Amino acid sequence: MKLHQKLKNKFIGVVILITTLFLASCDFTPPINRKIIDAQNYITEQKYNKAAFLYEDILKSNPGPELRLKICYQLGELYSIYLGEYKKSVYYYNEVKDLTEDPLWLIKTEEKLAEINFNYRKNYKDAIKNYVKLSEFTPKLKKYDYFQLQIALSYYYLNNTDEAIKQLTKIQTDTNHEYFVRSFYYLGLIYFEKKDFNKALFVWSEYLKRETKKEYIVQAKFLVANIYESTENLKMAYDIYYSIANDYPNPDVIQNRLSALYERRVSRRR
């Protein structure tokens, strides 16, 4: 939801600028000019369906390539940010890619497609294609490290654990990688879900040596405690749960775990 709101706020800030560019850089007939202004007014009034309808109507009149490109991008924004119609937004963003070879347009459009496919459509196969394209731009883009992590996570969500492990391991070859530390968490999570608890514990011990963010430390320790609980190392599990009792987002969960572990340890002594 935070990502969605951030996109909305950004869109509101740029929509007037885009409309100004329409008016300043394109030579259109008065009817098209009027429709663009009306579409802008509909956006201001939060009548996004009507704005989309008008933009699509303009496309039917076969405008020039520059105007067509800008309208397609605008429609991609409308359908993804305001209308939640991601299939249509993907269609129009792909239209933008077909209309230009300008790297700036291609990069921002590919980023939009990647985030839609990953976050909203859960289409991880296409997300991988988008992130791979972004990672292949020369020179490397500023968010190159992020694209690499997203490729790994996409494989993880596709249950292709071998490829996810390969991608995370690649990240770990570069200690300066922005997600070098965080990659250990995800690698441990894969082993945890495979029930390879020894490897999970080893990787997470390496992760906890490096992680500095409190919420991430608590998150990892909870899972470590879960392993010890599952493998009947009740004292170790109890001690770790207890150590994060004041920091875990849902204190009741920790208290329930502690109570259950206490009862199990008492029963063992009987």
Report how far residue 50's alpha carbon sits from residue 39's, in angstroms, rounded to the nearest whole number: 7
Q: State whether residue 63 is helix, strand or coil.
A: coil
Structure letter (DSSP) for residue 56? H
> Quick check: 17 pLDDT over 70?
no
For residue 181 the two structure tokens come to 């530390």
pLDDT tens-digit readout, 228-256: 999 999 999 999 999 999 999 999 999 99
pLDDT tens-digit readout, 43-86: 999 999 999 999 999 999 999 999 999 999 999 999 999 999 99
**Cβ–Cβ under 8 Å, residues 6 and 122:** no
Alpha helices in 61-122, H assignment, sequence order: 65-77, 86-99, 103-115
Structure letter (DSSP) for residue 141? P
Report how far residue 13's alpha carbon sits from residue 75's, in angstroms, rounded to the nearest whole number: 16
**Number of residues assigned to the chain:** 270
> Quick check: 27 pLDDT over 90?
no
Name the pTM for this structure. Answer: 0.86
Assign 11 a pLDDT band (cuts: 50, 70, 90).
low
Q: What's the whole-number mean pLDDT along residues 251-266?
A: 94
